[in-house]
Amino acid sequence: MSNLIRTTMFLVVAFWAALVVAQPARAQSADYKLSPGDSIKVQVYQQPDLTVEARVSESGSISYPLVGAVRLGGLSISEAEKSIASALQKANILKQPQVNIVLLQVRGNQVSVLGQVQKPGRFPLEANNVRVSDMLAAAGGVTPTGDDVLVLSGTRDGKPFRKSIDIPGLFLGAQSKDDVLLAPGDTIFVDKAPMFYIYGEAQRPGTYKIERGMTVLQALAQGGGPTNRGSANRLRLNRRAADGTVVQTEPRLTDPVQPGDVLFVRESLF
Residue 152 and residue 166: Cα distance in Å, rounded? 11
d(CA 222, CA 204): 8
Cα–Cα–Cα angle for 204, 206, 212, rounded to 5 degrees: 100
Q: Which fold has domain 110-192?
A: Outer membrane lipoprotein wza fold like (3.10.560)
Report how far apart, in Å, the C-alpha atoms of 26 and of each of 21, 39, 124, 249 are. 9, 16, 15, 63
Q: Where along the chain do its domains lie? A: 31-105, 110-192, 195-267
**Distant-in-sequence contacts of 61-68, Cβ < 8 A, 24+ apart:** 66/91, 66/93, 67/91, 67/93
Task: Give the pLDDT band of residue 127 (cuts 50, 70, 90).
Answer: confident
Q: What is the pLDDT of residues 197-234, one digit of tens each?
A: 999 999 999 999 999 899 999 999 999 999 999 999 99
Question: CATH number for the 195-267 domain, one of 3.40.50.10380, 3.40.50.10070, 3.10.560.10, 3.40.50.300?
Answer: 3.10.560.10
Rounded distance between C-alpha atoms, residue 16 and residue 14, angstroms:
6
- Residue 116 CA to residue 142 CA, distance in Å, equals 6
Looking at domain 31-105, does it have CATH number 3.30.1950.10?
yes
- pLDDT attached to residue 5: 41
Same fold, 31-105 and 110-192: no
List, for residues 10-51, the tens digit of each pLDDT value. Answer: 343 333 333 333 333 343 455 678 888 888 999 999 999 999
User: Which residues does residue 13 pair with via DSSP β-bridges, in sequence order?
Assistant: none
pLDDT band for position 107 (cuts 50, 70, 90): confident
Model-wide pTM > 0.75:
no
